[in-house]
Amino acid sequence: MRFENRVTIITGAASGIGRAVAERIFSEGGSVALIDRNTEGLAAVAESLGDQSRVWFRALDISKESEVEQCVADIFARFGRVDALCNNAGIAGGDYSLITETDTNVWQQIMAVNVMGAVHFTKFAARIMRDQGKGAIVNTASVAGVRSGAGGNAYSASKAAVINLTQTTACDLGEWNVRVNAVCPGLIETGMTAPVFDRARAAQKEHKLGSRCELRRYGRPAEVAAVIAFLASDDASYVTGQALPVDGGNTASLNLPGMKV
């Protein structure tokens, strides 16, 4: 019950890792504010959790600062506090083109959601945490932000930016006892990675998914959620400014040219 009497904001909560985080934190006694663009998905998650007195949700575009500001204000009005923020929402963009063929619009869209969405929520939630004298922020980055071959150019650059944002904001907020960390998932089966899994299954190559990780398998959302819950809890009270891979050992091994193709 690490989150009893605590309130956690979770973006990208309608599915995948975000949903798993909501389930984990709720199961440990926490109240959750769920954010996503998918209204139906949010409603389904909220209903599945049970006790509606500990659940709040809203569909919005996290790239719009004014909407995020109002959202955080409404969460504070509902619960009277914000103890943790999980910046999990993100998009892949589906663009794996070479940099010479890149679509500028795709870059702008990915940066607006993956980077600025986290910036907006951190900006307004951290003000509440500062006044409380305590808080935890956990950003979902990616192994794609650590090394090449795990995502398209724009997506990878956005996740590298999230890692750096984690470090700089940890320095900004440390004096108020607000911790900021990131997780860097490897290959996890979620809605975002569904095309990868669909292609592998269609080609009867599902057994190869995650085969180059040291654990020789792909991961599950619940496994990432467990690490996020740790970083958001007092169990990680002396951990800040870190980007922790949750990747089955993928970033521990040598990435040779062409290996990830």
Domain ranges of the chain: 7-188+221-247
pLDDT in tens, 185-228: 998 877 676 566 667 667 776 776 666 788 888 889 999 999 99
Question: What integer pLDDT is reported at residue 216 of this predicted model?
Answer: 82
Residue 138, pLDDT > 90, answer yes
19 or 250, which is more confident?
19
Beta strands 84-87 and 55-59: pairing type? unpaired
Taking residues 51-76, what's their average pLDDT? 97
Question: What integer pLDDT is reported at residue 261 of this predicted model?
Answer: 44
CA 208 to chain CA mean position, Å = 25
The architecture in CATH of the region 7-188+221-247 reads: 3-Layer(aba) Sandwich (3.40)
Residue with token string 């909220």 = 46
Question: What integer pLDDT is reported at residue 6 of this predicted model?
Answer: 98
Question: What integer pLDDT is reported at residue 218 of this predicted model?
Answer: 83
How far is the C-alpha of 53 from the C-alpha of 122, rounded, in Å?
25
Question: What integer pLDDT is reported at residue 100 of this predicted model?
Answer: 93
Provide the mean pLDDT of the chain.
92
240 or 50, which is more confident?
240
Residue 139, pLDDT > 80, answer yes
Which amino acid belongs to residue 59?
A
Question: What integer pLDDT is reported at residue 254 of this predicted model?
Answer: 62
Q: Where are the alpha helices (DSSP H) in 136-220?
A: 153-173, 194-202
Could you tell me the two tokens for 208?
A: 């190869």
How far is the C-alpha of 245 from the C-alpha of 186, rounded, in Å?
7
- The residues annotated as belonging to the active site are 155
94 or 83, which is more confident?
83
How far is the C-alpha of 248 from the C-alpha of 229, rounded, in Å?
18
Strand runs labelled E in 16-171: 31-36, 55-59, 84-87, 135-140
How far is the C-alpha of 62 from the C-alpha of 91, rounded, in Å?
12
- Comparing CA positions, the residue from 249, 247, 112, 103 lying closest to residue 187 is 247
pTM (2 decimals)?
0.92
Angle between helices 117-132 and 65-79 (to 10 degrees): 30
CA 188 to chain CA mean position, Å = 12
Residue 237, pLDDT > 80, answer yes
Give Rg (Cα) of the chain.
18
Which amino acid belongs to residue 240?
T
129-150 burial string, b = 16+ CB within 10 Å, else e?
bbeeebbbbbbbbbbbbbeebb
Taking residues 71-95, what's their average pLDDT? 95
Question: What integer pLDDT is reported at residue 70 of this predicted model?
Answer: 98
24-56 burial string, b = 16+ CB within 10 Å, else e?
bbbeeebbbbbbbbeeebbeebbeebeeeebbb
Residue 257, pLDDT > 60, answer no
Taking residues 117-130, what's their average pLDDT? 98
Residue 260, pLDDT > 80, answer no
Q: How confident is the model at residue 251 (pLDDT cuts 50, 70, 90)?
A: confident
Question: What integer pLDDT is reported at residue 198 of this predicted model?
Answer: 64
